[in-house]
Structure 1
């Protein structure tokens, strides 16, 4: 077992509420555990990190302001990485557990998951006076986009979410995690990596609720990663957006929406245009005070004015609710 620890200061107004809400999607909390009742506020997140079951425990401290934002805040994070059994090593492969578990990689992962490197101050300064978006930005001051633990999780989650409701996608995600069944000593079940997913065949994915198209796309993604055709960890550090697009488009069942959402949640790229997202179009309709739906073409054109922060604008539009 390996343990890593870090404590980091948080920017003024850091919105822990967004981080907790994003990881609270599954009410059964089999891979994530939310703590927001009692003396501690935090999150436990289990995932397979370079072949080994890992669990990151985030604990937030600070003065809570209106809306759940922190002032004078900091975060303490401990990551427990389990030792892999011989049975697991034989099943998953000889390369298991050879990843980078150093302190630098761990701190980079913490900053990534919390969105601490996202230039939201520049975005807010540029657009806070916009006649339509400005009031929303001021209301959501400090909004960042929480990230999943790995690019593989982001892409596979985007595949699961294609053309179904969020509730259905969350249930499908849960069954996928249970099918892969990589357990952590904390009691949580890890979100699988590519090697773990390849231990689940197409029939098992279909039994878990995946359509034939989604099962094929998930396994195609996992094979491409395992065969080193998709160097996701390298891409995360260098962010070659067009290489990511072309590499993912080569996998049948992955299209522009899936790629743009994965770029947002897995790579922290804030300029993905989510004009095809139903919730984004609904938020824009409400923001503009329209009775009729706003189409993809108009949404895309409207978002163009906010490059290079179109995905961040989409995140703000997700927060728009119907009044009354």
Structure 2
């Protein structure tokens, strides 16, 4: 078992991290308390249980792998920890740019320490985005749980691990449709997993976001909203435009004091003023909908 410690930045809000990873109160791959996150992931084919103890200044991590970690697994682990702890995007530049903004300034100042928390891996973020397409959040969370139990692997401790692409590629469409997945959703998930598993689609982190976006959009069943969500929650890209997101439009409607949500074109134009920090703008807009369950 390995142990690590990560120093957290001043003003770090562990409650945001806990809330994101604790969305599923019946979680099979996550066990979350106010000060601790247990998370199961598969890294280069190896089931790994992470036990992350959080304070305001430090994250203490125990890494329990079912086999010796390969160099690639260790690199993936480094990446996953940045994602899980919300340390990939520095919120300070957006705070400086938007603190006095007439539309978002009040919200930004009220949530100055807000960070973007991510899924552990790009594949997890992308599959979660596909699972959540066009259904309500509670049903999406239940489908995700089913997906983990069908395709994931169980760590020696009993914790389930979110699957890698090759785990999902072994499933059939019927495996998913008999568990309440629509056929189109099941086909998209399997198509995606098979492309990644075969090497036809790379999900390696890249600075060429345009190329990554184009490759994802070429996959049947994946549209612009899914790509932008994956860029935000997976790649940690700082300038995602979530103009297709209903909650973003609802937040803008509230801030604008209007009777109807702005349409997608107007929402895109409103978000454009926050370039190159549109990801943080989206996070602060979501935060204004305090009564809404986190995405």
How far apart in 2 are the matches of 1:208 and 1:137? 41
SS in 2 for 1:75: strand
Residue 52 of structure 2 is aligned to residue 58 of structure 1: yes
How far apart in 1 are the matches of 2:149 and 2:42? 13
SS in 1 for 2:42: strand
Q: Is the 8 A contact 1:50 1:99 kept in 2?
A: no
How far is 1:115 from its partner?
2.5
Equivalent residue in structure 2 for 1:136, among 107, 112, 119: 107
Name the residue aligned to 2:41.
47
Name the residue aligned to 2:26.
28
How far apart in 1 are the matches of 2:71 and 2:187? 27
Residue 278 of structure 2 is aligned to residue 301 of structure 1: no
How far apart in 1 are the matches of 2:232 and 2:103? 23
Q: Is the 8 A contact 1:239 1:267 kept in 2?
A: no
Aligned residues: 291
Residue 7 of structure 2 is aligned to residue 9 of structure 1: yes
How far apart in 2 are the matches of 1:212 and 1:261? 22
Name the residue aligned to 1:82.
66
How far is 1:211 from its partner?
0.9
Q: Is the 8 A contact 2:43 2:76 kept in 1?
A: no
TM-score w.r.t. length of structure 2: 0.94
Q: 1:300 to 1:184 in 2, by over 3 A?
A: same
SS in 2 for 1:48: strand
How far apart in 1 are the matches of 2:18 and 2:226? 23
How far apart in 1 are the matches of 2:78 and 2:49? 14
Equivalent residue in structure 2 for 1:291, among 259, 262, 265: 259
How far apart in 1 are the matches of 2:116 and 2:289? 18
- Which deviations, in whole Å up to 9, do the C-alpha atoms of 1:106-160 show, x marking residues without a partner? 3343223222231211110111011120110011111111111111111110000
| RMSD, aligned CA | 1.7
How far is 1:322 from its partner?
7.6
Q: 1:196 to 1:75 in 2, by over 3 A?
A: same
Which segments of 5 or more consecutive residues in structure 1 lack a partner in the other structure? 62-69, 85-96
How far is 1:16 from its partner?
0.7
Q: Is the 8 A contact 1:194 1:226 kept in 2?
A: yes
Q: Is the 8 A contact 1:206 1:212 kept in 2?
A: yes
How far apart in 1 are the matches of 2:80 and 2:120? 7
Equivalent residue in structure 1 for 2:239, among 253, 271, 293: 271
SS in 2 for 1:34: strand
How far apart in 1 are the matches of 2:272 and 2:175? 42
How far apart in 1 are the matches of 2:264 and 2:279? 15
Name the residue aligned to 1:118.
89
How far apart in 2 are the matches of 1:265 and 1:322? 20
How far apart in 1 are the matches of 2:264 and 2:286? 15
- Aligned pairs (5 A) from 1:140-159: 140-159=111-130
Equivalent residue in structure 2 for 1:252, among 199, 220, 226: 220
How far apart in 1 are the matches of 2:48 and 2:273? 41
Which structure's CA Rg is the greater one? 1
TM-score w.r.t. length of structure 1: 0.86
How far is 1:50 from its partner?
1.1
How far apart in 1 are the matches of 2:141 and 2:290? 23
Which segments of 5 or more consecutive residues in structure 2 lack a partner in the other structure? none
Name the residue aligned to 1:66.
none
How far is 1:254 from its partner?
0.3
